[in-house]
Structure 1
């Protein structure tokens, strides 16, 4: 898998934090949420709903494309469900950030996710997802996750042989949980443990590595069949095996003709765990670091919201007596903290304290 792509630096001075947590800020958010056309039918019945951010606008993502994402875009995903015998819907809302999504797009996705939670009367659990590092909960919504380069405007259904962008996709995973992600278009991307699809528009090859699992092969075969169906007979699929393909095969020739590899910048994770607090005890919402190093459950208090940075993951924990202002702003501060540190890591909101310290 390629390394992480550095995200643009976030300038704290670009954010007006003065009104965070105030009644005015809450009223403005609620009014904005009620006026957002995209939320009209959001969370009205059990099921999955997905939107993509297009030039600051929340646009509905086609249901037939659920599970397919572009690295140049940002998305909002809402899962509405019933639990037990209760008829009250529960919600998980995720915003997914593509590795090449612009700051405008992922900033809008983050803001609109909070707005959607406001629209749902603060009942949603919010999650931040980053391309290639999605949570198990997020992955559970889809039979497969397909991540492609570019934005949705570079769609893959309409096939014009002379204009089509050739793509190499890697199919990988453990057990039945399989993901499909676009990788650099060259032979160096291949390995013996996974399955790959070379999509040349009118012809697609499924390359089975010698050690690829039956789940990966089956999922890629299904993906290949779906491509053929979506392109209405204008795409022919072919399955090839690593041990039997010749060096002169057209599959290799296409890869050798596109040897320009994509470079990625690695981001080093910090080594010290940190605990932050969101509190309005002073009459104004403040965000501050309270401890670093060894963090224990006893360091949390019931009256505030805490951000626990475990270096690999950030948890937003809400004390049972936390004020509405503190609850509303925990996710906002957590997202800004991640962006400013240039790390692509998990963000879990309203999290169970026992799981935080496992």
Structure 2
């Protein structure tokens, strides 16, 4: 739903993507993809696969940590699946950008995502995901989405509890679709509608807000028990309820009074817009075509189109679009986002002939 959203100041906003989509990039991409060790087993069978970018390299992310991401890192996520009893494999490939991920990591994740699609013979739908503004499709892959401060080197497993950095986690969401994210370690982060987990290493508290849902409470308890198990009995869990806990409780001693800094409210409302990427004139041009009242009939086969729904960006690749138009779709979407007050929007690259429910819903809304 459009409206005011909290947006942190992302370090990756001015990332240089000049090479992304260039002739040189396309020429080396297939050879590079075939030589990338990480893609050896990529997309060979249905399921989820996740890699983290480490110093320009694609490294496998442990399966036990699927759904857990650090804001200082960038990741590539591949979902392989089948439909309607067919044996044909289909793919969605996402790159996820942590709010503190470096420009190098962001650029490498973007490049390697396109490379993976090339390795999969251009059969994947490509997606860009930004921390805190992930698409519903991305969230659907995980029982809960956990985001933590720092990079993977800081760790959240196999750490001595007495040396553990105290963290406050918020558990929130609708129904069973929940997110767990790290929030500032202060009292003003708390509210009555959600559950919070205060992880102090040797003791882990579950704070149940007065209006928290049963799903939030149950998932928090499961998460708390997982922490206890990972620390081999060196951490003890305790549940406290907002209505019965006093200000003198040890739980509050870990929380400061300061409010969060660096977060601005951004209005993501506005009118839907349609743009085209066309090189019929001899040079590739990006121009606005239409505002409001956009339907699927506006998406032709001869060009690449960018549909800004205000909440998501869709890049439509027409089947007869030129090679230059096709390879620049993500770049134009990225650059378009950077010129708006909504650089965090999810981006989806959809090829004509491939049904994509989110695009149909956005067009009909």
Q: Please confirm whether the aligned pair reaches a TM-score higher than 0.5, indicating the same fold.
A: yes
Distance 1:52 1:266 in 2: 30
Match of 2:286 among 285, 288, 292: 288
99-108 vs 191-200, greater mean Cα deviation: 99-108
Partner of 1:253: 253
Given that residues 185 and 260 in structure 1 are in contact (C-alpha distance below 8 angstroms), is that contact kept between their aligned partners in structure 2? no
Aligned length: 352
Which residue number corresponds to residue 53 of structure 1? 53
Deviates more, 1:261-270 or 1:62-71: 261-270
Partner SS, residue 4 of structure 1 = strand
Contact preservation (8 Å) 2:157, 2:231: yes
Deviates more, 1:58-67 or 1:270-279: 270-279
Structure 1 position 167 matched with structure 2 position 167: yes
Q: State the Cα distance separating 1:341 from its structure 2 match.
A: 3.8
Listed one character per residue, the Cα deviations across residues 130-155 of structure 1 (whole Å, up to 9, x for unaligned) are 11111111111111111111111111
Within a 5 Å distance, the mapping from 1:79-228 to structure 2 comes to 79-228=79-228
SS at match of 1:188: helix
Q: State the shift of 1:207 in Å.
A: 0.5
CA distance in 1, matches of 2:15, 2:192: 43
Q: Under a length normalisation based on structure 2, what TM-score does the superposition of the two structures give?
A: 0.89
How far apart are the structure 2 equivalents of 1:11 and 1:206?
Answer: 38
Change over 3 Å in CA distance of 1:103–1:295 after alignment to 2: farther
Listed as ranges, the matches of 1:18-33 within 5 Å are 20=22, 22=23, 25-33=25-33
Alignment partner for residue 15 of structure 1, among 14, 18, 26?
18
Shift of residue 248 of structure 1? Answer: 0.9
The answer on whether the counterparts of 1:276 and 1:287 sit within 8 Å (CA) in structure 2 is: no
Deviations 1:94-135 (A, max 9, x none): 111111112211111111111110110000011111111111
TM-score by length of 1: 0.91
Higher mean alpha-carbon deviation, 340-349 vs 110-119, is at: 340-349
1:283-322 deviation per Cα after TM superposition (whole angstroms, max 9, x unaligned):
55x1411325335335432201101122322111122432
- What corresponds to 2:316 in structure 1? 317
Q: Which runs of 5+ in 1 are unaligned?
A: none
Give the 3 Å change call, closer, same or farther, for CA 15–291 of structure 1 in structure 2: same
State whether structure 2 residue 2 is matched by structure 1 residue 3.
Answer: no
Q: Kindly report which structure 2 residues correspond to 1:331-346, keeping only aligned pairs within 5 A, or say none.
A: 331-341=330-340, 343-346=343-346
Residue in structure 2 matching 1:354, options 357, 360, 363: 360
Could you tell me how far 1:170 is from its partner in structure 2? 0.5
Sort the Cα spacing of 1:233 and 1:259 in 2 relative to 1 into closer, same or farther, 3 A: farther
Contact 1:7 1:339 in 2 (8 A): no
Cα drift, residue 354 of structure 1: 3.4
2:322 & 2:161 partners in 1: Cα distance?
59
CA contact (8 A) 2:277 2:287 kept: no
Contact kept in structure 2, 1:270 and 1:311, CA below 8 Å: yes
> Separation in 2 of the partners of 1:131 and 1:230?
25
1:167 Cα deviation from its structure 2 partner: 0.3
Retained in 2: the 8 A contact 1:287–1:333? Answer: no
Q: Which residue in 1 is equivalent to 2:353? A: none
Provide the C-alpha distance between the structure 2 equivalents of 1:289 and 1:104, rounded to a whole number of angstroms.
29
Q: Secondary structure of 1:240's partner?
A: strand
| 101-110 or 120-129, which deviates more | 101-110
